[in-house]
């Protein structure tokens, strides 16, 4: 596919004067766990390892998110399991991510620093999933699949961050239960889950499948992690299998209270430098940008963002561009990073098709901004409300147009006044 070049776009839309900007820092109060790795070891005592026979194998489900210290936490968990006299094996718990292939899922783990050499345990990345049950959710019969590699172990546990999900809101969102029901379901389980969840609701589907897994699998439970605004570890807590659905909602409230969010609710244009699966399952955190774009799930009420310009993909996402469809404009550099096979494998499995759509593609930053500012209608550089961020998790420093400065709270500090310039069409900020 050939996209319009500079001459094609430039003749359609006249140049737009850009507003003045400020570089600001955002420093809300938050809590950080002082010794997370020591806490991993002490928390694992809460899981029922004492019920296992010496030499038992323990499958540890690990996902694809960019969680703080995740490689260290996995390695510490593996070491603690071995010291108890058991044989750990890591099983990727990421549904269809990585193009739904063993090689792709190993690649994702490696990008997170999780390799067999680093963690000291084998990684069994087979995509095989065994049908272990069938549940009824709102009258819909739903098959329950579970990773064959995990089923072959004598016990199973998972490690995951508890946080608001990017497709829905409820008492259980992203965390241990969802990793069990979707991540360890592999592609077949993830597809079956989403097919039912879109129609019958995510929370009842998670709860029904979690209960079925607990009845059919030697489940120890999991290690729940909660991060603060700065993506630092705030909580490490082992949750035994019987307590998963009771405890996760409480940790979710803690995560929601401390998650990174934008400091204003009404924005004309949000510019996002990078999106990726390790940043969010939707590429961009939908709770930050205010867009779910999912059937039967209304978008969050805030923030209200008129347009989003997505500039590119992270290296860690390995071409999986899910989330680019949440943007209104992108540029050729982002499209050149896309691996359509991986992007489609994820989108078709989840049923969240909108996130894989391709928005209008501009050749450069300068022309992408020209397109976006023109689309706002009645553009005025003195009043336009623009926020420019690196991604939807690193929100401790970003840029805002001057029109927003008076609305920023006490937790926002203006560091520099800056001017936006373009070199060969690529945007850059310079101090003024």
Judging by DSSP bridges, how do beta strands 304-310 and 329-331 pair with one another? parallel
pLDDT, one tens digit per residue, over 69-114 is 999 999 999 999 999 999 999 999 999 988 899 999 999 999 999 9
**How many whole angstroms from its chain centre is CA 229?**
15
Mean pLDDT to the nearest integer, 5-26: 93
pLDDT, one tens digit per residue, over 28-64 is 878 899 999 999 999 999 999 999 999 999 999 999 7
pLDDT, one tens digit per residue, over 195-236 is 999 899 999 999 999 999 999 999 999 999 999 988 899 999
pLDDT score of 282 more than 90: no
Task: Say what the pLDDT of residue 197 is.
Answer: 92
What are the CA-CA distances from residue 281 to residues 138, 183, 287, 399 (Å)?
26, 12, 12, 25
Share of the chain above pLDDT 70, in %: 100
Q: What is the DSSP secondary structure assignment for residue 51, as one 8-state letter? A: G
Distance CA 161, CA 166 (A): 13
pLDDT, one tens digit per residue, over 316-357 is 899 999 999 999 999 999 999 999 999 998 888 888 899 999
**DSSP E strands, 15-153:** 21-26, 57-62, 87-92, 129-137, 140-147
Of 273, 296, 284, nearest to 326 (Cα)?
284
Mean pLDDT to the nearest integer, 369-391: 96
List 386's β-bridge partners, or say none.
269
pLDDT score of 296 more than 70: no
Mean pLDDT to the nearest integer, 155-181: 93
Mean pLDDT, the chain, whole residue set: 94
Of 126-135, 265-274, 352-361, give the lowest mean pLDDT range. Answer: 352-361
Domains of the chain: 6-27+260-431 (no CATH), 36-257 (3.40.50.11440)
Q: How many residues does the chain have?
A: 432
């Amino acid at each position: 596919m050939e996209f319009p070049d500079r001459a094609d776009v430039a003749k359609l839309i006249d140049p737009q004067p850009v507003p003045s900007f400020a570089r600001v820092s955002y420093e809300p109060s938050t809590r950080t766990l002082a010794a997370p790795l020591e806490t991993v070891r002490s928390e694992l005592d809460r899981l029922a390892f004492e019920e296992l026979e010496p030499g038992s194998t323990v499958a540890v489900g690990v996902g694809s998110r960019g969680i703080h210290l995740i490689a260290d936490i996995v390695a510490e968990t593996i070491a603690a399991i071995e010291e108890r006299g058991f044989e750990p094996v890591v099983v990727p718990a990421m549904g269809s991510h990585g193009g739904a292939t063993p090689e792709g899922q190993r690649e994702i783990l490696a990008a997170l620093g999780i390799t067999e050499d680093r963690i000291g345990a084998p990684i069994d990345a087979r995509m095989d999933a065994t049908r272990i049950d069938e549940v009824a959710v709102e009258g819909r019969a739903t098959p329950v699949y579970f990773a064959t590699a995990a089923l072959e172990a004598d016990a199973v546990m998972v490690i995951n961050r508890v946080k608001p999900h990017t497709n829905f809101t409820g008492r259980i969102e992203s965390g241990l239960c969802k990793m069990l029901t979707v991540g360890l379901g592999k592609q077949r389980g993830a597809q079956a889950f989403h097919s039912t969840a879109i129609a019958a609701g995510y929370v009842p589907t998670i709860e029904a499948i979690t209960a079925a897994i607990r009845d059919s699998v030697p489940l120890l439970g999991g290690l729940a992690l909660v991060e603060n605004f700065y993506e630092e570890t705030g909580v490490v807590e082992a949750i035994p299998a019987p307590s998963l659905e009771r405890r996760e909602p409480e940790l979710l409230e803690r995560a929601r209270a401390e998650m990174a969010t934008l400091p204003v609710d009404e924005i004309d244009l949000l510019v996002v430098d990078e999106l990726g699966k390790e940043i969010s399952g939707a590429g961009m955190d939908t709770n930050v940008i205010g867009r779910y774009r999912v059937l039967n799930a209304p978008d969050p009420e805030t923030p209200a963002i008129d347009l989003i310009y997505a500039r590119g993909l992270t290296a860690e996402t390995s071409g999986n561009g899910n989330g680019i469809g949440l943007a209104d404009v992108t540029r050729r550099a982002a499209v050149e990073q896309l691996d359509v096979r991986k992007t489609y494998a994820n989108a078709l499995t989840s049923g969240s098709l909108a996130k894989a759509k391709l928005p209008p593609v501009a050749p450069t930053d300068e022309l992408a901004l020209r397109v976006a500012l023109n689309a706002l209608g009645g553009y005025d550089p003195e009043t336009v409300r623009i926020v420019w961020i690196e991604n939807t998790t690193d929100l401790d420093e970003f840029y805002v147009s001057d029109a927003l400065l008076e609305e920023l709270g006490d937790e926002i500090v203006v560091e520099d006044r800056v001017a936006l310039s373009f070199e060969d069409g690529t945007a850059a900020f310079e101090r003024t």
